[in-house]
Amino acid sequence: MFKQLRIIAVLALFAAFTGCSDDDEPVVEPTLEVNYANVAGIWQLSEWNGEAMDADSRYFYIRLSRSQENGSRSYEIYTNLNSFVSEYISGTYELNLEEPNFPLISGTYDYTLSTDDEWAHQFVVSELYQASMKWTAEDDTDEVRVYKRCDEIPADIVDGERL
């Protein structure tokens, strides 16, 4: 009888510990710190102002450089959002990591577009994960861009062969 009680007690403890497992709870991926190392890389615009991008017909890729050259960090954009053909746009960008506008990304174009060489908006960088990040225009919260990280920009886009 004593053996049976011990077995029942051990089984009860086992059931209590395995029954309290948190395996059913979803794992929440922590956000990354916004810094040059974590935003550097190749990103594809996957959502713009709440609308999913159709990568077959419209595309926007941005490559953000981590390292400085001549005191600034560069970017390259490949897009067809403003044209029927692929466009290559380059320039420099910076992160403002100081209060109160933390963290903002802004940039300038290598070539002056219309009357200004600065981006139309400065963006608050949020929800930065290993695979995605969100940019919201500081002066227009309806202007929201969600990017997903990519390994590379498709060769036909880089070569200017994709329309």
41 within a domain of the structure (yes/no): yes
Q: Residue 77 belongs to a domain with what CATH number?
A: 2.40.128.280
Asked, for residue 31, whether it belongs to a domain, the answer is no
pLDDT in tens, 24-61: 678 788 999 999 999 999 999 999 999 999 877 899 99
Total domain count, the chain = 1
> Does some domain include residue 6?
no
Domain assignment present for residue 75? The answer is yes
Instruction: Name residues whose C-beta falls within 8 Å of residue 87's C-beta, 6 or more positions apart in sequence.
Output: 77, 78, 79, 80
Classify residue 92: in a domain, yes or no: yes
Task: Give the domain range for residue 123.
Answer: 36-158
Tell me the pTM.
0.80
Within-domain flag for 100: yes
CA distances from 133 to 8, 23, 47, 97, 98 (A): 52, 27, 11, 16, 19
Residue 70 belongs to some domain of the structure: yes
